[in-house]
Structure formats: structure tokens, C-alpha cells
Structure 1
Amino acid sequence: MRTSVAAILSVSSLNELAKQLLEANLSGIRVSGEVRSLVNAASGHRYFTLKDAGAEVRCALFRAQALRIKADFVNGDAVVVSGSISLYAPRGDYQLIVSTVELAGDGQLAALFEALKKKLFAEGLFDAARKRPLPALPQHIVVISSAVGAAIADVIAVLERRLPLARITLFATAVQGEAAAAELTRAVQRITPKSGFDVALIVRGGGSMSDLWAFNDEALARAIIHCPIPVVNINHRYRPAPALSSTARTISPRAGGAIKSARPTA
């Protein structure tokens, strides 16, 4: 009977073998997670932990790669990183050597919005002087919103109570999804000096930044700027849509507060 005996490895040999196996099989990978324990070293290197609900991995972003990455990130950001696994043999610790970092989800959208805001701000489109004064007693109000939902129901109810003699016209649009931005923009562009409207209300409910991204559309912001009547942004569940809020008048969380600003004074 023959008995095989496994080779006995030293600790150093074991770690070196593990390093070779990891680096050969886990290179050029992409990993998503949340940034934690971020350290910006004086050398320019960035060290952080990438974690999800069940595990975490230490990451190193060295200075040369960090200088090439446009997206800034902080603790709590959801990111997708690219890189390769390496092991520090003397301690037996492995880490992800990061080559690229992309903001994910709302973080990515926030970065896109900051770029858009900077562009529009430089053009002077956010100047308060561009916002037209609200009419004291609007007689014809155009509401741009989904035809269904709590937000539009609340606004219509308050309008009918506070301004019972005002005529209300609804331009029904999508407020979420791929078609929403274009539909909202076309609805604003339908308003002309001959339309007979005194004020436009863009009404939306709540949601995440991705849910409300249509309201941060550049074409919509420009349409509002060129609209011949004042445009009011009503947030039914208050969460600002910055591009819209910066070009239109943004009124409070509930329709009651919003309409108060457009009602006749006593």
C-alpha cells in the first residue's frame, strides 16, 4: 500500500503561491460596493475599503492612477472599481489594486448634474432676475404633470379650493422613465404668448435622484428659461431637482404652500 505525503510548504512559500494564483486569475476585474474608511495619503495614494452587506475588501489606488480618475468619491459613495487582486506576502493580506473608479447610481447622476449646473451657471441661466414675477390673481393655470397620482390630485384639489374661478389646463406627461424629459420639455415649449396662460406649474412627486432625473434635463431647463410665463416647480414630497429648481420658482413640499404664493393678497 502506497501512502502519498503532501509537500510541506513554508509560510513564505504558501503566501507567495497564493499571490501568484490570485494575480494570475483575478486581474482586470470590476467590483461594485460602497466606499468606507477612505484615507488620502500625503503621497497622493488613496486607500479605502469597498464593502457590501456581506463582506469587504481593502483597496489601494496609487497616485499615478488617482491623477487620471475624473470622478471624485468620498465615504458612502457607491462605486464600481476596476483593478486586480494582489497579496502582500509578508502579512498574507490581499487587496484590490484599483485602476479606475466610476460613481454608481445616484453618485454618478450627481456628478453629471454638477457638470450641467456649472455649465448653465456660467451662462447666467440661474440668475434670479430671469425668473418672471408670479401673477397676483392667475385666471388660467397650466399644470404639467402625470395625469394620475397623489401629487396631481393634491394640486388640483388645492387650486380648486383657493382659486375657484381659475381655469385649469393639464398637459399630461410622463414624470419618470426614458420618455419623461422629452415629454416635459415639449409641454413647456407648447406654451406661447398666445396660449392665454398666466402661470405654469410643473408638479412632481418624490423619489430617488434617478427617479427624478428627467427634471435635471438640460433641454427642460432651457425651455423653462425661454418660457414666456412664470414657471413654478411644485415638489409634492420635497426633494429638490436642482436644475429645475434653479431655473423655475421652487415652492414648498405641499401644494397648499405652493399655491399660497400665487393667490391674491388680502
Structure 2
Amino acid sequence: MRKEGNPPTSAAHAVSVSELTHQVRHLLEVSFLQVWVEGEISGLSRPASGHWYFTLKDDRAQVRCAMFRSRNRSVKTVPAEGEQILVRAKVSLYEARGDFQLIAEAIEPAGLGALQKAFEELKARLDREGLFSEDRKRPIPVPPQRLGLVTSGTGAAIHDILTVLNRRFPGLPVTLYPTPVQGKEATARIVEAIERANRDGRCDALIVGRGGGSLEDLWCFNEEAVARAIHDSRIPIISAVGHEVDITIADLVADQRAPTPSAAAEMVSPDRQKWLDMLTRLEERLLLSARQILRQRHDRVQELGARLRHPSQQLQEQAQRVDDLELRLEQRMQQQLTARWEKLEQFRNRLHASRPDYRIGQYQQRVSDLGERLSLSINTRLRRERERYRGLASQLDLVSPLATLERGYAIAEKPGGDILRDPESINPGDPLRLRLAHGALQCTVDSVEKTSANAPEKG
């Protein structure tokens, strides 16, 4: 049995009601950061505080909703009892009563759900591609050399922009690229206007936008083609679409977003009055500074005048110092000039050595030298071969039959052309041909005389 005064272990860890509701609220808000809920509005209450309280229900359930004044100001039309609506809200808990509720941030008629879904899908896809990255956004020049406006030529936006510019900075040149800003043709015409501004190259900043309107009226600025045209623009772009509560895809892609066209004009135009005030302050500071400098110089002159005893001597010393400084300056300048000339000469020599025509001349000279060496080598080789040829010809002449003929000998040939070596191979009366050094003789054998092998030759 449990003794009195010892509570169970579970009771030791009990939480208070306020702690429980607080933890539940925190859990809901962390688990459901933001949701879109569709349902029928019922029991709308609008107390003097400006906040709205209502119930959102369908045929099976209902949930309490609260929309604070700072949020419901942006709702253009107060929803009617029983109207089907879309609510963008945070899931929460009213801790004082433990009531589960939605904290509404935006309300739209349910018929706009498809457009909102298309907006969210395109927004997510372009975000994944990096079109919204802050790293690619460029600064807007203030003031620009020339400002381009991509908007309707007859709408309220152009009037508001020009009014602000005329008031703040009337000297800013403006070029209008007129285009429809709603309707079927608006998307293509806005893209064409942005591309035309980039082709012209006259402007260094663009304002793309229009005045307020419904979600359908502003939808052309949520089209992918317009977003990519803004992303591809070489000119920085300010998006100024609708009112402050209207967020479009164009706002997210642009280099800078302005809540209204008038605000966009203020972003790119310095305030003329502020400039005039600044110039006035600078003029006053300049005059004050000049007076202080003159006063200091005057006081310094007075002080020097009191200390001045021998003006002529000081002038001589100063003149001598000036001469000395002048001489040192001339020497220093001469040294620097000499050093610069030497360095310039080094650069000139290095440049001359690396000049193509100089290098080509070197290579041409080298080719010429190699040509002369080749010609000399060929001539030497030819001379050696010629001398060798003569030597070989002389050796050949020593064993040549023609050389023997030149010494007075003759070669006897039989009618068939065979050389006669043995007198026994011919008979008296046979014809012979005697071949001489310079011609031949046709002869007839009268007689044949034979000699022995050991008989001495007759001289």
C-alpha cells in the first residue's frame, strides 16, 4: 500500500494547463509552418480592434480563425457570410481557452485557387533554377544616365512615375517602352519591350510594372516568359507591380522590388531638395573652413612678423636654401632621368632582340651561312670526286685496249668479228680486218708464218 503524502511517480512530472497549451501551440506552429485551407466562411466578427474572427467549415468539420488588423487591411473585399474562400494561415492554439485555431495571413475567393497553385508551382521551379538568387542581382545606378519604363503609356503607373521624377529629379532622361500590362497580349508585349530596351542600349536602368489590380489583372507578371526576360536582361530592372501587398514572380526575379511605381521612381531619383540642402551645407562648411584657414594664416603671419628681425638675411638664407634645393632637385631629376634612360635602353635592346624582323634577319643570316657552307661542301665533294674519277680513268687507260692501239699496235679480227690470236686459225687468201687507234684496214692474208713458243721476239 502507498503511504499517505507520497504521490505517485507520474504525478511528480505533471505539467500545468498553461504549460501544456503552450507546448501544444509550439508543436503546432513548428509542424505546420503555413497552409492553404479552403472552406466556407461563417460567423465573421469585426470588433472595434480591427481584428477579424470567423469560422471556416465544410460539411464534416470546422475550425476557428483569427485575422489581425495588420493582415486584413490587404484584403480588397470583405468576404460575405457563406462564401467559399481560400485562407493562407499558420496553425496555432489560443492558449487562454485551449482552442485550436488558424491565424489567417491572406484570404482569396476559392475561384482563385488554380492561379495561386500555378503561382506557387512556378515560383518553386524558378527558385530551384536559381532565378531568385541574391548573388545574381545587380545594384541599380542612382541616378541612372537614362531611365527606361516598361509599362502602359496611358495607365496610372506612368503618371505616378513621371510625377515623382518631376518633383525629385526633373533632369533625368526617360524613355518609354509602351506595352499592355494586362490581357492576353500583355505577356508577349512585355517580353518584347524588355528585349527592345536591351537592344537599344540607351538605358542603364529599367522600371517594369503597373498600378494595382486583381490577381487576374496582374497575372502577366507571374508568367514564366516575363520572368526569364527579366532574368536575361543586361540592364538592371526594378519591378514595381501593383501595391505593397502584391507579390509577383517578376518581383522575385528582378534586381530590386518596389512596392509601387511611385516608390520605384523614388529609388532611382535622388531628392533634388536634399541635394540642394547638401550643397548648401557644403558651401557653408567650405566658407567656414576658408575663414578659419585665413584666420590661422593671418595669425601665423602676425607671429612671424613679430619674430622677424633681419628680413634681408632671412631672405638670403631662404634664397640659398631654394638654390640648394633646386640643385638637389636637378641632380635628383638627372639621376632619375639617367636611370630611366638606361632602363629604357635595356627595354629597347630586349625589345629589339625579340622583334620578329630582327629574329627573321638572324635566321636569314643563319640560312645564308648554312647555304654558303653547303655550297662549299658540295664544291669540295665534287672536286674530290672529279679527281678520284680522273685517277680511276687513268688506271683504266693503263689496261684499256685502246691505249695499246695508241702505242701503234693493231687488233686483227676475222670476218666473224673474232679476234685473231693463233695464225693456225686462218689460211692464206682469207680476209682480215685490222683495227687501229684511229680507224681500221681491210686486208687479205698472203701467207702464214708460224713461230715457236720459245722463239725470241724481233725488235
- Number of residues of Structure 1 aligned to a counterpart in Structure 2: 183
Partners of 1:132 and 1:166 in 2: CA distance: 21
Report which structure shows greater RCO (CA 8 Å, sep ≥6).
1
Indicate the larger mover: 125-134 or 187-196.
Answer: 187-196
Q: Counterparts of 1:55 and 1:193 in 2: how far apart (Å)? A: 53
Partner residue of 1:152? 158
Match of 2:40 in 1: 35
Quote how far apart the aligned CAs of 1:190 are.
Answer: 1.5
SS in structure 2 at match of 1:35: strand
Alpha carbons 2:211, 2:261 under 8 Å: kept: no
Asked whether the 8 Å contact 2:209–2:261 carries over to 1, the reply is no
* 1:110-189 equivalent positions in 2, closer than 5 A: 110-189=116-195
Corresponding position of 2:228: 222
Deviation string 1:143-182 (CA, Å, 9 cap, x unpaired) is 0111112221010121233232221111111111111111
Mark the CA change 1:118 to 1:54 in structure 2 (over 3 Å): closer, same or farther: closer
Q: Over the residues paired in the alignment, what is the CA RMSD in angstroms?
A: 2.9
Higher helix share: 2
TM-score, L = length of structure 2:
0.36
Question: How far did residue 260 of structure 1 move?
Answer: 2.8
Give me the whole-angstrom Cα distance separating, in 1, the residues matched to 2:174 and 2:162: 8
Structure 1 residue 137: deviation in Å?
1.9
Cross-structure match for 1:13: none
Q: Deviations over 1:59-82 (max 9, x none)?
A: xxxxxxxxxxxxxxxx7239xxxx
Measure, in 2, the Cα distance between the counterparts of 1:192 and 1:76. 42
Secondary structure, in 3 states, of the residue corresponding to 2:127?
Answer: helix
After superposition, the Cα gap between the structure-2 partners of 1:192 and 1:53, relative to the gap in structure 1 and judged at 3 Å, is closer
Kindly indicate whether residue 60 of structure 2 is the aligned counterpart of residue 47 of structure 1: yes
Q: Which amino acid aligns with 2:244?
A: Y
Residue type of the alignment partner of 1:135: P
Q: Does 1:195 align with 2:201?
A: yes
> Given residue 172 of structure 2, which amino acid in structure 1 is its aligned partner?
A
SS where residue 269 of structure 2 aligns?
A: coil
CA 1:34–1:229: 2 relative to 1, 3 Å: same
Corresponding residue for residue 250 of structure 1: 257
**Separation in 1, partners of 2:219, 2:186:** 9
Is the strand fraction higher in 1 or 2? Answer: 1
State the distance in 2 between where 1:208 and 1:77 align: 15
Q: Distance in 1 between matches of 2:179 and 2:152?
A: 5
- Does the 8 A contact of 2:156 with 2:210 survive in 1? no
1:161 and 1:54 map into 2 onto residues whose CA distance is: 46
In 2, Cα distance between the equivalents of 1:194 and 1:147?
A: 19
Q: Structure 1 counterpart of 2:40, which letter?
A: V
In structure 2, C-alpha distance between the alignment counterparts of 1:230 and 1:189, rounded to whole Å: 13
Determine the C-alpha separation between the residues in 2 that align with 1:240 and 1:54: 25
C-alpha separation in 2, matches of 1:224 and 1:239: 21
Deviation at 1:185, TM superposition (A): 1.1
> Which ranges of structure 1 fall in alignment gaps of 5 or more residues?
1-32, 40-45, 57-74, 79-102
Which ranges in structure 2 are unaligned for 5 or more consecutive residues?
A: 1-37, 42-55, 63-78, 88-108, 276-459
CA distance in 2, matches of 1:167, 1:114: 38
Question: SS state of the match for residue 180, structure 2?
Answer: coil
- Contact 1:139–1:167 (8 Å) recurs in 2: yes
